[in-house]
């Protein structure tokens, strides 16, 4: 299915042991350059506490002024790996000194249409002693289409190849640098990074032992297409929150279990007296609000994308609702359909519709759509997955994680206890896409630097919970999310809440302080009997 032109078997025979030849050069560049298809762009020894400039960084990845925080004494390597004659994947490695190495490796993914190295997760990983890796997924930049235009192999790197290449490179470099392989191999990513992770567990189940997968964009093409379709449907969110919030017993701006409410936009119609007349909906608007929270069907009438959860601000991708000519303020759709789907630099999404969506799904450029639920091999070998998803996610509806979880369970035909033995999904009410929002969302999220140094334990940090599960067999029964003043991780804690593996849900005890984790208990879902 995938022709890997770069084989570690060959590499392992060629590389000689990496040695730190001087404080400036941690690896003999000449040696690495002789490896087929690998070019060394940088090799340097860096001290903890320093910052390094990344002058080659393109604007959409932070620009040439971006600096990375060096969080351990490391050997830093930047490699270009040719995947075909017309494509190459950049891989960056941060290798802590042998005496401070924790024996593990961690690889990271991307966001959106990729192209940016996830320094945040690498910084967190190296600080904890992991040999940490990042990749650009085969192109530079999270905005643009030129890199995909007439470049099917670059699309393949982004679609399904880059993380596997990163995993292969990490195996070789770890073995060479430390003289032995990593005891356990981890992966952490969010959004596209979550998609890449699930896809990797399906296609290359041997690559990782534990995966932390946030807000995964598993059905990537439908997710992106939904923006173009929903841009035409208006959304009024504030009124829903006011109506539904108090129903869970706590009026805090968070709808705890959005799936357990039904929303009828006719209740917001003018004349019902429920809403201030400046907010109420006219008949046409009632219809479009209803449509904004309806699922999306393809041209043959099959539902292909679930509705957004109530309270999610679905209008963020459309900068106009007033006159019905919604402009799409979401660049990924235009970029990907231009560069990778239609190979046409003049295409624009103004008339985007279900036909464009169905066409892309049929072509599936680079096998980017990773809605494949068969994780049998990863399950059988004992791999572990912690996944999380904000219930207020406006980019990838959290319903998708629910569907995916159920899909994996039925593909394996196993009971809840068995799926919880390798895959646990935590919903975080009030969290936006990957991080942020009114909820107590900080759980050691992927792509979020730094970690709270005071909460580096398996109860509060999902990566540490994953390590504990993989290496000690202790599965996370709960995760405690933390809310900080001004959302600054590590500053004053304003609230904490206990989260539960789906389909359990977190319920307030009805008495104690709602900002304390202990006031929230896991209960079996109503749907679980
Ligand atoms: C290097 O890449 C080329 C394609 O660009 C491929 O044909 C060749 O097999 C690769 N070599 C190795 C050692 O992987
Ligand atoms: C990405 O940028 C790096 C420099 O930061 C460069 O070495 C590499 O060739 C670029 N890759 C592509 C595909 O343009
Ligand atoms: C490095 O740390 C500074 C502050 O300590 C932060 O502003 C910056 O975003 C960090 N860089 C990265 C790439 O995370
Ligand atoms: C992309 O479009 C260009 C220009 O129209 C064409 O020459 C090229 O063959 C197309 N490539 C693919 C992969 O369709
Ligand atoms: C209705 O909303 C408008 C605009 O937000 C506000 O100025 C007005 O005071 C509100 N009226 C009532 C009766 O709440
Ligand atoms: C609709 O509103 C947007 C933003 O206010 C404006 O740019 C656009 O010209 C309007 N279109 C029509 C047809 O009035
Ligand atoms: C619509 O979705 C269904 C279910 O995935 C699929 O079988 C069908 O081919 C799709 N129709 C089109 C036109 O793509
Ligand atoms: C493994 O779990 C045991 C209790 O089950 C605990 O005492 C121990 O600290 C754990 N080990 C690690 C490395 O976390
Ligand atoms: C409230 O908290 C107290 C002390 O932590 C505890 O004993 C009590 O059981 C809690 N109440 C409920 C209803 O859970």
Q: Decide if pLDDT at 318 tops 60.
A: no
Is 431 within 8 Å of 190 (Cβ atoms)? no
Query: Which of ligand 6's atoms lies nearest the C-alpha of 319?
Result: 4
Say how far apart CA 202 and CA 204 lie, in whole Å.
6
pLDDT tens per residue across span 212-247: 999 999 999 999 998 887 765 555 444 555 555 666
User: Over the range 150-160, which residues count as b (16 or more CB within 10 Å of their CB) and which as e?
Assistant: ebebbbbbbbb
> What is the mean pLDDT of the segment spanning 156-164?
97
Averaged pLDDT, 464-486: 98
Q: pLDDT higher for 389 or 272?
A: 389
* Residue 433 among the catalytic residues: yes
Report the pLDDT value the prediction gives residue 425, as an integer from 0 to 100: 98
Segment among 212-221, 310-319, 494-503 with least mean pLDDT: 310-319
Does the Cβ of 347 fall within 6 Å of ligand 4? no
Q: Is 48 in the pocket of ligand 6 (CB under 6 A)?
A: no
Whether the CB of 345 sits within 6 Å of ligand 4? no
Burial of residue 174, with CB atoms counted within 10 A of its CB: 0-12 exposed, 13-18 middle, 19 or more buried: buried
325 lines ligand 6 (CB under 6 A): yes
Of 1-15, 296-310, 351-365, the least confident: 1-15
* Arithmetic mean of pLDDT, 485-497: 97
CB of 509 sitting under 6 A from ligand 9: yes
Q: Between these two residues, 147 and 322, which has the higher pLDDT value?
A: 147
Give the H/E segment covering residue 264: none
Q: Give the pLDDT of residue 7.
A: 37
Give tens-digit pLDDT for 103-119.
999 999 999 999 999 99
Atom of ligand 6 nearest to the CA of 323: 1
> What average pLDDT does this structure show over 442-451?
98
- pLDDT above 80: residue 362: yes
Strand partners, 523: 505
Contacts of 346 (CB under 8 A, 6+ apart): none
| Higher local confidence (pLDDT), 61 or 286 | 61
Q: What separation in Å is there between the alpha carbon of 278 and the centre of ligand 5?
A: 7
Taking residues 136-162, what's their average pLDDT? Answer: 97
Ligand closest to 514 (CA) is 9
Which residue ranges make up each domain of the chain? 1-182, 224-367
Confidence band of 349 (pLDDT split at 50, 70, 90): confident
Query: What pLDDT is attached to residue 315?
Result: 55
Q: How far is the CA of 236 from the centre of ligand 5 (A)?
A: 16
Looking at residue 394, its pLDDT comes to 83
């Amino acid at each position: 299915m995938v022709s890997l032109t770069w084989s570690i078997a060959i590499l392992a025979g060629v590389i000689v042991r990496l040695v730190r030849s001087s404080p400036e050069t941690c690896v003999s560049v000449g040696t690495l350059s002789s490896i087929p298809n690998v070019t060394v762009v940088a090799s340097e020894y860096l001290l903890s506490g320093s910052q390094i400039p990344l002058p080659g960084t393109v604007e959409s990845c932070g620009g040439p002024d971006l600096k990375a925080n060096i969080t351990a004494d490391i050997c830093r390597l930047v490699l270009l790996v040719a995947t075909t004659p017309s494509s190459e994947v950049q891989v960056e490695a941060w290798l802590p000194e042998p005496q401070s190495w924790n024996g593990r490796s961690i690889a990271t993914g991307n966001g959106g249409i990729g192209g940016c190295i996830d320094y945040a997760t690498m910084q967190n990983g190296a600080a904890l002693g992991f040999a940490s890796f990042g990749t650009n997924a085969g192109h530079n930049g999270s905005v643009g289409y030129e890199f995909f235009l007439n470049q099917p192999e670059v699309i393949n790197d982004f679609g399904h190849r880059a993380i596997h290449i990163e995993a292969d490179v990490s195996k070789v470099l770890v073995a060479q640098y430390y003289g032995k392989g990593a005891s356990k191999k981890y992966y952490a990513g969010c959004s596209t990074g979550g998609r890449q992770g699930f896809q990797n567990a399906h296609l290359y189940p041997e690559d990782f032992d534990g995966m932390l997968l946030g807000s995964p964009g598993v059905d990537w093409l439908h997710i992106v297409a939904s923006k173009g379709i929903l841009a035409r449907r208006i959304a009024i969110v504030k009124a829903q929150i006011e109506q539904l919030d108090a129903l869970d017993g706590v009026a805090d701006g968070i709808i705890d279990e959005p799936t357990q409410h039904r929303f009828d936009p006719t209740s917001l119609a003018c004349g019902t007296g429920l809403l201030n007349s400046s907010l109420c909906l006219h008949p046409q608007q009632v219809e479009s609000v209803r449509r904004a929270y309806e699922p999306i069907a393809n041209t043959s009438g099959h539902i292909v994308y679930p509705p957004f959860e109530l309270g999610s601000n679905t209008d963020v991708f459309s900068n106009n609702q007033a006159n019905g000519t919604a402009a799409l303020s979401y660049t990924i759709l235009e970029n990907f359909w231009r560069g990778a789907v239609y190979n046409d630099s003049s295409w624009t999404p103004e008339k985007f519709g279900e036909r464009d969506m169905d066409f892309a799904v049929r072509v599936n450029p680079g096998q980017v759509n990773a809605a494949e639920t068969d994780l049998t091999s990863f399950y059988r070998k004992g791999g572990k997955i912690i996944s999380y998803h904000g219930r207020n996610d406006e980019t990838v509806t959290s319903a998708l994680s629910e569907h995916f979880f159920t899909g994996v369970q039925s593909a394996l035909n196993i009971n809840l206890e068995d799926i919880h033995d390798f895959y646990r999904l935590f919903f975080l009410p009030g969290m936006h896409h990957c991080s942020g929002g009114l909820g107590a969302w900080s759980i050691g999220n992927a792509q979020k630097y730094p970690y709270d140094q005071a909460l580096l334990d398996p109860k509060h940090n999902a990566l540490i919970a994953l390590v504990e599960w993989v290496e000690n067999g202790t599965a996370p029964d709960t995760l405690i999310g933390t809310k900080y003043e001004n959302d600054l991780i590590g500053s004053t804690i304003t609230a904490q809440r206990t989260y539960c593996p789906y389909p359990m849900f977190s319920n307030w005890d009805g008495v104690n302080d709602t900002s304390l984790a202990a006031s929230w208990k896991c209960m079996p879902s109503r749907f679980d009997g």
